[in-house]
């Protein structure tokens, strides 16, 4: 996959997308002549049959994948896709796809790795100031020669508090410094909450709303918590595909032993959100039932409408309704700023009971988090607060806002340095979201006439599309495997994000995830392959076990 420099993104934004769309449609038309032959040549060569047999053999004894192990109920489809379809089989697949590609397609360039339709990460370089801020932390001996702050330094905690407070009101004070924690990405934050909850309310039930990444259910199961999922059938809606249950459906459906709801807004994989009315009703429910909400907000600052970013309607409504103590927030720099490799995450809560449990859990895991993160998290908090105040007070100068935000605080940088860094950070933010928004337009144009269901398009990163109707010969995982094994193209489908495969296959159809936070060359090529593969899969009936080898691995017990 191609990594992008910010200057390339800015240039692409300035050039617009009209030519890109036109060239992409021409690319799709040309590919229609060649890719079906490549797919069928792989089938005829016997390579597909071999790959499916090897895939099935590799599941045996793998506790995350083999259906004889309970853990496969929480993450089997995801790990089968990650470790086998797109993992151990990749090198062999690339060898024969490149060989047959040279035979079938004029100008074929050998692939060095699988083409990722849904990489799940942003491939634009992170803001360059982040490396400078990390260096500030490393070069400060009070941070690099120290491990006497088991909950993080005051600078780190103050930075996280500012990040969280600003999402409610950049001029307010909501989260105590004792209730914020730096974590190894949002993934550890989720695991930290599950462990803390297992201590305060052992054996209680956690319900995941809509679709979700595997980490939450996987973690909750291993902490001895009961796990469940509540989603609605998106086919009952007109227009956008929505999987979130309504507030009424939540109240009517959750068992009495439920202690926590898990919500990702905007959702992964489909970018879905709740409106204010539904959020208000959900807050009323959690107060009456004494529930917690684990709020995964890592995509929340990626709305295409700038007025929606660096604030949180979920947190604002929770604060207004007196339910903020019911919320535990996880966030990170992984998605919003494409800084996944540094694993910088944070957790915040206000409820004394859960804060104490979080602190005890943190203390039992380690002596302290990375203390050298102080400058970057301090900057991030100030930058988000400044960004929000710029929206709230458009007539105020940026200099006066920075004066207010920094006050007389002691930071690793002065006001002049912060202002310069903020301006770079702000340009990155605006240009990247503009690039994502245009990428989504390209995807939707290419998919017109091919996809029968589309996700909401208010926020960046992923979209979820319906490429195949349900039916007796439909197998989501077979479709996924054959996309990889015939065209060396990798993504995730419905069962990788929860709900039993039986439900997907018999009621919902085939839904792949598309991440549009990538280069346009890779994105257009990957979507082109997805469209042509889907057409070939349906026209040739590649999923019919009476005609072709079909993957026999299934995940019908997914949570």
481 inside domain:
yes
| 496, 77 contact by CB (below 8 A) | yes
Whether the per-residue pLDDT at 186 is higher than 90: the answer is yes
Q: Which of 318, 348, 370 is the last residue of a domain?
A: 370
Whether the per-residue pLDDT at 237 is higher than 70: the answer is no
80 inside domain:
no
pLDDT in tens, 514-523: 999 999 999 9
Q: How far is residue 249 from each of residues 40, 211, 287, 398, 502, measured CA to CA in Å?
A: 45, 15, 17, 45, 22
pLDDT in tens, 475-484: 999 999 999 9
162 inside domain:
yes
216 shares a domain with 168 = yes
395 inside domain:
no
190 shares a domain with 104 = no
pLDDT at 236: 66
162 shares a domain with 247 = yes
Comparing CA positions, the residue from 410, 205, 367 lying closest to residue 292 is 205
* CA pair distance 58, 551, nearest whole angstrom: 12
pLDDT at 238: 64
Q: Which of 345, 370, 395 is the last residue of a domain?
A: 370
- Quickly count: other Cβ atoms within 10 Å of residue 145's Cβ: 8
Sign (positive or negative) of CA dihedral 236, 238, 242, 247: negative
Both structure tokens of 235: 């086919």
pLDDT at 228: 97
457 shares a domain with 333 = no
pLDDT in tens, 347-385: 999 999 999 999 999 988 887 788 999 999 999 999 999
Residue with tokens 């001029």: 171
Banded pLDDT at 131 (limits 50, 70, 90)? very high
Give the DSSP H/E element, type plus range, for residue 345: strand 344-349
CATH number of the domain that residue 294 is part of: 3.40.640.10
Q: How far is residue 243 from each of residues 198, 280, 298, 513, measured CA to CA in Å?
A: 27, 19, 19, 14
CATH number of the domain that residue 25 is part of: 3.90.1150.10
For a pLDDT cut of 70, what percent of the chain falls above it? 99
Banded pLDDT at 487 (limits 50, 70, 90)? very high
pLDDT at 150: 84
* CA pair distance 6, 10, nearest whole angstrom: 6
- Grouping H, G, I as helix, E, B as strand and the rest as coil, residue 514 is strand
* CA pair distance 511, 34, nearest whole angstrom: 24
Beta bridge partners of 466: 453
pLDDT at 463: 94
448 shares a domain with 328 = no
Whether the per-residue pLDDT at 242 is higher than 70: the answer is yes
Banded pLDDT at 79 (limits 50, 70, 90)? very high
Comparing CA positions, the residue from 40, 91, 60 lying closest to residue 552 is 60
Please, what is the average pLDDT of the chain? 95
Whether the per-residue pLDDT at 11 is higher than 70: the answer is yes
Provide the pairing of β-strand 344-349 with 258-264.
unpaired
Both structure tokens of 40: 């069928």
409 inside domain:
no
- In degrees, rounded to 5, the angle at the alpha carbon of residue 477 between the alpha carbons of residues 474 and 483 is 95
Whether the per-residue pLDDT at 54 is higher than 80: the answer is yes
Q: Structural domain of residue 102, as residue ranges?
A: 6-49+89-120+433-539
| 528, 27 contact by CB (below 8 A) | yes
Number of domains in the chain: 2
Q: Which of 370, 393, 419 is the last residue of a domain?
A: 370
What mean pLDDT is predicted for residues 77-98? 97
pLDDT at 501: 96
């Amino acid at each position: 996959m191609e990594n992008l420099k910010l200057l390339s993104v800015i240039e692409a934004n300035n050039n617009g997308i009209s030519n890109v769309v036109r060239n992409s449609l021409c690319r799709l038309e040309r590919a229609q002549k060649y890719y079906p032959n490549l797919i069928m040549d792989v089938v005829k060569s016997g390579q597909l049959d071999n790959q499916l047999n090897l895939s099935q053999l590799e599941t045996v004894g793998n506790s995350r994948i083999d259906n004889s192990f309970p853990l496969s109920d929480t993450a089997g489809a995801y790990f089968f896709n990650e470790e086998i379809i797109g993992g151990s089989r990749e090198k062999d697949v690339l060898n024969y796809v490149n060989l047959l590609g040279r035979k079938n397609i004029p100008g074929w360039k050998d692939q060095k790795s699988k083409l990722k339709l849904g990489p799940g990460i942003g491939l634009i370089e992170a803001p360059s100031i982040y490396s400078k801020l990390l260096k500030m932390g490393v070069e400060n001996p009070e941070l690099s020669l120290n491990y006497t702050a088991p909950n993080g330094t005051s600078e780190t905690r103050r930075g996280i508090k500012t990040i969280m407070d600003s999402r409610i009101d950049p001029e307010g004070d909501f989260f105590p410094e004792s209730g914020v924690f730096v974590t190894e990405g949002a993934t550890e934050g989720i695991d930290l909450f599950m462990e803390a909850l297992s201590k305060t309310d052992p054996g209680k039930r956690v319900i995941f709303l809509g679709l979700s990444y595997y980490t939450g259910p996987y973690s909750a199961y291993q902490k001895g918590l009961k796990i469940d999922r509540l989603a609605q059938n998106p086919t009952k809606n007109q227009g956008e595909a929505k999987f979130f249950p309504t507030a009424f459906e939540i109240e009517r459906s959750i068992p009495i032993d439920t202690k926590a709801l898990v919500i990702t807004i905007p959702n992964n994989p489909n970018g879905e959100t709740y409106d204010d009315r539904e959020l208000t009703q959900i807050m009323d429910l959690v107060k009456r039932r004494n529930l917690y909400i684990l709020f995964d907000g890592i995509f929340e600052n990626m709305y295409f409408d700038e007025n929606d970013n660096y604030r949180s309607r979920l947190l604002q409504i929770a604060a207004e309704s007196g339910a903020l103590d019911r919320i535990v927030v996880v966030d990170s720099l992984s998605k919003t700023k494409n800084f996944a490799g540094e694993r910088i995450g944070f957790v915040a809560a206000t409820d004394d009971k859960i804060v104490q449990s979080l602190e005890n859990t943190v203390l039992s895991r380690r002596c302290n988090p990375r203390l050298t993160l102080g400058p970057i998290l301090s900057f991030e908090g100030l930058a988000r607060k400044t960004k929000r105040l710029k929206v709230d007070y458009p007539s105020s100068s940026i200099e006066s806002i920075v004066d207010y935000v920094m006050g007389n605080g002691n930071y690793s940088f002065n006001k002049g340095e912060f202002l310069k860094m903020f301006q770079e950070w702000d340009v990155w933010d605006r240009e990247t979201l503009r690039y994502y928004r245009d990428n989504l337009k390209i995807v939707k144009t290419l998919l017109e006439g091919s996809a029968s269901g589309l996700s909401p398009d208010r926020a960046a990163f992923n979209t979820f599309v319906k490429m195949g109707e349900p039916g007796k010969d439909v197998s989501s995982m077979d479709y996924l495997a054959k996309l990889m094994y015939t065209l060396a193209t990798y993504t995730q489908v419905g069962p990788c994000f929860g709900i039993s495969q039986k439900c997907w296959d018999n009621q919902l159809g085939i839904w792949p995830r598309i991440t549009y936070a990538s280069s346009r060359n890779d994105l257009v090529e990957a979507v082109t392959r997805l469209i042509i593969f889907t057409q070939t899969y349906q026209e040739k009936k590649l999923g019919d076990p009476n005609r072709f080898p079909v993957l026999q691995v299934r995940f019908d017990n997914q949570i």
